[in-house]
Amino acid sequence: MPHNPQPSHGSASAGDPYLPTSGNGGYTVAHYDLELTYRVETNQLRAVATISAIATMDLEKFSLDLAGLSVEKLTVDGDRPRKSNQAARKINVTPVALIPAGDPFEIVVRYGGSPHPVRSPWGDVGWEELADGVIVASQPSGAASWFPCNDHPSSKATYRISVSCEAPYTVVANGTLSGKSTRSGRTTWVYDMKQPMATYLATVQIGRYTKRDLHQGVLARQLYYPPEIAGNVSTDFGRLDDMIAVFVEKFGPYPFDSYSVVVTPDELEIPLEAQGLGIFGRNHVDGAHGSDRLIAHELAHQWFGNSLTVESWRDIWLHEGFACYAEWIWSEGSGGQSAHDNAVAYRARVKAAPKDSLIVGDPGAKDMFDDRVYKRGALALHAIRLSVGDTAFFAALRAWARVYRHGSVTTADFVEFFSNHTGSEEIDGIVDRWIYKAAVPDLS
């Protein structure tokens, strides 16, 4: 008898133990079309999300992530579902008919409310009001604070983001500005992100910003900032072109169509990366290049984190270790301290730190943003570089960025790729010592 697969319920989790309540099973998203109407003064959002998805199993039920906002209407392929309900952070949907595995389907969600950050073990993340504007910083689980989604880094999609708000404000979002129109005191900004993007990297920035276009060339670059700090911004981001040139040489072509920098009028604890964007607080701009290391770090994430994105959060060293190592590469490339001197200095600091059992390759959810993940990840890369030599190391790094461009990666992928590309039998051992052991090894 022919096998008839049983209908399945898409799980309300991506199965990632670091964020067990984020993401959803049973489907992938190909495209998000977001129409946002926002009032800055009252923090009121009315929105419509059109989600183009593909079933990965016979699907009789599925869920979406959404937190703090209320669903007004939902349809699946134009029909109201047979059943739907909204829990604290989930929309649970039973469509009229089973969706066969491999079939595309479209979800349209009309929703609204007063968006606010989502509480998480790493602080409040997501849509947040500034003193006069908005910042969206969703890593790792805050995307659901402003749109219904499959909120996990393994689910990457293209985006169209349309935002309408009061005309005095500038809106910056991911991708290329493809439309702008003003009517009745309100301006609508439309951005298209044509390359696949993880949900946590989707962002909207709203403020009374001045815009400056930098040298265009093959890569459009923009700065957005409060006008009163124009001089400091001009100085501190004056080396951005040089940074891009160094990283293109070492990592390969920049992976997106543009790169924008937003400097908020508020102070921020740390800078933030989004796809095609770096976001800094006014406290990161001093007019004396005091944040060059941070500027390099966020820029490097465009290759490592945004184009190449971890399949699960346990491998976050593949984002942060690479971006940290890029800081040392920029220092070296700009005539500062060499990467090796930086590695020696930071190894000594890591060695002198109180002994514990942190495993960089699986640090646990609580410690996934611990500085040791960043520094030991960078040290692992430098140890590989010392082992195989500069020519082989950077050739492998460029190939890694090219082959997995806009895709998902794991530590196992990295070990196999670098071993095959360099012909070295040492890669597995180096990664094991630096990433999967607690003891601090020698750089040699």
**Which residues belong to the annotated binding site for Zn(2+)?**
297, 301, 320
Q: What is the DSSP letter of 314?
A: G
Residue 203: exposure state from Cβ atoms within 10 A (0-12, 13-18, ≥19) = buried
Do residues 70 and 16 lie in contact, with contact meaning Cβ atoms separated by under 8 Å? Answer: no
Which residues are marked as active site?
A: 298, 374
* Sign of the torsion angle spanned by Cα atoms 321, 247, 331, 342: positive
What angle in degrees, to the nearest 10, is found between the helix axes of 240-251 and 317-333?
Answer: 120
Provide the 10 A C-beta neighbour count for residue 412.
12
Query: Which among 105, 159, 208 is positioned nearest to 306, based on CA atoms?
Result: 159
CA distance 215 to 312: 37
Kindly give, in sequence order, each residue whose CB lies less than 8 Å from that of residue 13, ignoring residues fewer than 6 positions away: 20, 21, 22, 23, 24, 25
Kindly give, in sequence order, each residue whose CB lies less than 8 Å from that of residue 361, ignoring residues fewer than 6 positions away: 314, 315, 317, 411, 431, 435, 436
Which residue type does 18 have?
Answer: Y
